[in-house]
Amino acid sequence: MSTGSKVIPLLKSAPEPDQLADRLDGGDWKGIEIALMPQHLADDGALARAVEATRDVVAGMIVTAEAPVAWPSGAFVRVDRLDDEARAGIERSAEFAARVGSPVLTIHLFVPLSPEEFRSSGAVNAAAVEEFLGFYADACLRRGVAPLIENVPPVLRMRTGGVFLSPLGGHWRDLVEWRERVPELGFTIDTSHAALFRSFATVYPGLFAHPWDEELELSRYVEELGPHAEVAHVSDAHGLLGEGLPYGSGELELDPVVRRLGELAPFIVAEINEPDPARSVEMKRAYTAIERALALPPTEPKPVRRRVPADSFDWQQVLERRDPVPSVLELQERFGGRRLLLTGGGGSIGGALATFLGGFRPERITVVDGHESSLIADRRSRDPQTLDLFQHVLCDIREPGRLEQELAAAKPDIVFHLAAYKHVDWAEVFPEEFVDTNLHGSWNVLRAAETAGVETVVVASTDKAALAQSFYGRTKRFMEQLTAFAARQAGGRRTAVRLVNVLGSAGAASEIFLQQARTGVPLTVTDTGMVRYW
């Protein structure tokens, strides 16, 4: 927490002579944060060389220190694993901080897991985390160094490659709760990590069990963590994966955030991920921007636009398994910067898919639906920070002329066709309506996509198309055959995906069961011997 003295902006460097020389060149820089790498903790000799390299060039500057994300063996730092290597790494990190004159040491509050490990993992071992953090705090305090923990992003792209996730450390509440257990801990606030965690909670809330993103605004992180913060890491962010971006190049309005951080934390680090770690062009620009923002007059914070909360029911607890972990790198490559269009986008599945795809920041998402109320409700429910990505179009897929006009205007690269009638019993009563929508409407979409030169079309089918015993199933089976024909005719990618009992979708059995359970009404089960697959 700021003591009232003037806040100090800092650059960032590893304790390597070439990086340090680059950072200190070309300006009157007031401070620098030293980020330790695994090799600097390999043994006492490596530690001594890191200390010497730092001391030689930072005399008279403010210095802060950060522990590495992995130990010398290559094992990731995990706050639930205090083995011999972790003990030695913590001791050497704290010793480094003390010997270079850093008043603080930062460590990430995380438990990096592969997607497979994350999905199969249970609750975090709280006793093990408390043991680790207690040891860390003691090692720092014995040397006169303040121990800090830092919030982490939802997707960890470690320097060794690959994608990892942590069940701990993304939400500001995690840091607050662990400070309550280990009161000696302070905080390091990372702006891009907080923004990315909010983005992930918005588009795929179940994975971290945070069904509502409103309390994850960056300003909330600052206010909740700020009173016990010593360091802030400042950079911009974009979408789900854009971490450590140059100041002003992403989606964050950083000036008022930095201005407020300057009232709370004594050290603000320009933490920019440079393409070449040996050069610090964007980092120094960010340092200058931080100085400018700190000099701005105080401003009233913008009010957060309130939205109706989403249903917080967590189906993962019913199934006793976590949602699948998306292949975020592949999805980012496929959808980032592209133009997407969804028919039936105002429905529960279409709306959720549009939200998820929005996290990868396509150029535009066109949401097409023939139901006015659903389309308006979808637009009103959208996150105001990403609303500009979405274009809502009222259009019935049974009108081929209108549909062709809208696809020609949207120029989508990829179309997801979700518009359909789906209730099996109603198909037997109103077969003509199901033919008009599920067959004629689908063929209209496929033809309009061919005319517009759409690269990929994905149509939503059903498991009931497998045996096609119901009229509804037969309409979907025929739609799949039309899709295969369109693929041969157009030469583009045309794919059908069979969906089975989508949990939480409008009109599904799960929605009926949930409403009945909440009101104490007996569940309407067709046959007690029936098995449902989710």
In this structure, of 171-180, 214-223, 498-507, the range with the lowest mean pLDDT score is: 498-507
In what order do the strands lie in the sheet containing 390-394?
A: 390-394, 364-369, 339-343, 414-417, 456-462, 493-499
Q: Specify if 478 maps to a domain.
A: yes
Domain membership flag for residue 419: yes
**Cβ–Cβ under 8 Å, residues 196 and 155:** yes
Kindly state whether residues 264 and 331 are assigned to the same domain: no
pLDDT at 416 over 80: yes
Mean pLDDT estimate for the chain: 92
Give me the pLDDT at residue 419, please: 95
210-219, 320-329, 429-438: which range is least confident on average?
210-219
Task: State phi, psi for 113 to the nearest 5 degrees.
Answer: -130, 145
What is the arithmetic mean of pLDDT over 172-188?
97
269, 294, 319 — which closes off a domain? 294
Residue 310's pLDDT is 67
pLDDT tens per residue across span 503-521: 878 877 888 888 888 899 9
Say if 534 falls within a structural domain: no
Distance CA 141, CA 519 (A): 54
Residue 252 lies in a domain: yes
Same domain, 483 and 389: yes
Kindly state whether residues 367 and 440 are assigned to the same domain: yes
Please give the Cα distance from 210 to 214 (Å, whole number). Answer: 10
Report pLDDT digits (tens) over 221-244: 999 999 999 999 999 999 999 999
The angle subtended at Cα 146 by Cα 144 and Cα 150, nearest 5°, is: 155
Tell me the per-residue pLDDT of 29-83, one tens digit each, with 9 for 90 and over.
Answer: 999 999 999 999 999 999 999 999 999 888 889 999 999 999 999 999 999 999 9
Domain count within the chain: 2
Same domain, 204 and 340: no
Orientation angle between helical segments 348-358 and 191-203, nearest 10 degrees? 160
411 exposed, middle or buried (CB, 10 Å; 0-12, 13-18, 19+)?
middle
Q: Which of 294, 316, 348 is the last residue of a domain?
A: 294
Which pLDDT does position 3 carry in this prediction? 40
pLDDT in the model for residue 161 = 66
Q: Looking at the domain assignment, is residue 165 inside a domain?
A: yes
Q: Is the pLDDT of residue 160 over 70?
A: no
Quick one: 446 and 344 in the same domain? yes
Q: Assess whether pLDDT exceeds 80 at residue 366.
A: yes
Whole-number pLDDT of residue 159: 60
Mean pLDDT of 296-312: 70
**Across residues 408-415, what is the average pLDDT?**
97
SS3 of 139-176 = HHHCCCCEEEEECCCCCECCCCCCCEECCCCCCHHHHH
Whether residues 256 and 337 fall in one domain: no
Can you give the CATH number for the domain in which 110 is found? 3.20.20.150
Do 287 and 331 lie in a common domain? no
More confident residue, 383 or 12: 12
Question: Does 318 reside within a domain?
Answer: no
pLDDT for 1: 46
Asked if residue 512 is part of any domain, the answer here is: no
Which pLDDT score is estimated for 4? 42
Distance CA 370, CA 222 (A): 43
Q: Which domain holds residue 461?
A: 327-500
Supply the CATH number for residue 368's domain. 3.40.50.720
Residue 531: the pLDDT is: 76
Q: Which two tokens stand for residue 290?
A: 């931080």
Do 13 and 107 reside in the same domain of the chain?
A: yes
Q: Residues 6 or more apart from 207 whose CB is under 8 A from it? A: 154, 165, 200, 322, 323, 325
Are both 336 and 252 inside the same structural domain?
Answer: no
Question: Are both 194 and 237 inside the same structural domain?
Answer: yes
**Paired sense of beta strands 414-417 and 146-150, if any:** unpaired
Q: What is the pLDDT of residue 504?
A: 77
Q: What is the pLDDT of residue 2?
A: 44
Last residue of a domain, one of 250, 270, 294: 294
Q: Looking at residue 353, what is its pLDDT?
A: 95
For residue range 139-150, list pLDDT tens digits in order: 999 999 999 999
291 membership: H or E segment, kind and range: helix 281-294
Report which of 396, 399, 354 is spatially closest to residue 371, judged by C-alpha positions. 396
Give the pLDDT band of residue 5 (cuts 50, 70, 90).
low
Pairing of strands 242-245, 236-238: antiparallel
Minimum mean pLDDT among 4-18, 84-98, 143-157, 329-343: which range?
Answer: 4-18
Q: Is residue 373 one of the residues assigned to a domain?
A: yes
Q: Are residues 124 and 233 in the same domain?
A: yes
pLDDT at 434 over 50: yes
- Tell whether 405 and 449 lie within a shared domain: yes
pLDDT, one tens digit per residue, over 280-300 is: 999 999 999 999 999 998 877
